[in-house]
Amino acid sequence: MNDKSVLIGCPVRNRAWILPDYLESLENIDYPSDKLNFCFIVNDSVDDTESILNDFARRSYSPVQIVKTTATNFNGHKRGAYRFEQLAKLRNMLLEKFYRSDCEYLLSVDSDILIPPDIINRLLSRNCQIISALVCNGHHINDNSIYNVMKKTPAGSYQHIKDFSREGIFTVDVTGAAYMIHRSVIAEHKVYYSARFGGEDIGFCEAARARGIPIYCDGTIECQHIMIEPGSQ
């Protein structure tokens, strides 16, 4: 499986507090460095985010793109302060970089997610066009049953899936945070992010499913989600 080229990246803003740990988890990935590329979309950071990424680029054995943009304005960098329309634009910038690259897969990993070293090989082994790892999103509300997987109800709303298998893969309607996308999703099916349905991940997944692309989560892989900045409470 390690003959596939993979682009890893995400939008980043004011993440100096977590970036060293995040980048260390990327450096620890068990995958050939000549098959990896990195791309970070840096939006108007005022902390040390850019310098930390530049240090990472200098020591990386894999190519690293750092794309600076001020095209979008945010009300803040804390969780919940982003507008979905702006996040969709930033994530679509990453998709464009992926589309223009020679990589076959994009591993989109948000900058507060720490991934296990074998995540690429394990996700590739599933041979899915879109597949995520598990990420717990409920720490800040003291509900560790909330993960990055949802189903759409007959009424059109979205509910978190709480009863899922940890022994294989399962289908979902919406996922996010840490997931792998095959090139065909973008190049052939033209799936992009939007805020049409609320969160930009919902827009992406709705567009994928509308084009007949199934979405999966691998219940055997769980990432660590660092949701709360030290000293912010």
Q: Is the CB of residue 36 less than 8 Å from the CB of residue 6?
A: yes
- Give the length of the chain: 233
CB within 8 Å of 187: residues ≥ 6 apart: 99
Mean pLDDT by 10 residues, the chain (233 residues): 92 97 98 98 96 99 96 48 83 98 99 98 98 89 87 96 96 98 98 93 98 99 90 61
Q: Write down the H helix ranges in 60-147.
A: 84-100, 119-124
Q: What is the pLDDT of residue 71?
A: 59
Structure token pair of residue 157: 């709303």
Q: What is the pTM of this model?
A: 0.93
Q: Identify which of 21, 157, 14, 23 has the alpha carbon closest to the alpha carbon of residue 76.
A: 14
Q: Residue 8 has which token pair? A: 């890893």
SS3 19: helix
Domains and CATH numbers, the chain: 6-225 (3.90.550.10)
From start to end of 110-199, where are the E strands? 113-114, 130-135, 149-152, 158-160, 169-172, 174-175, 178-182
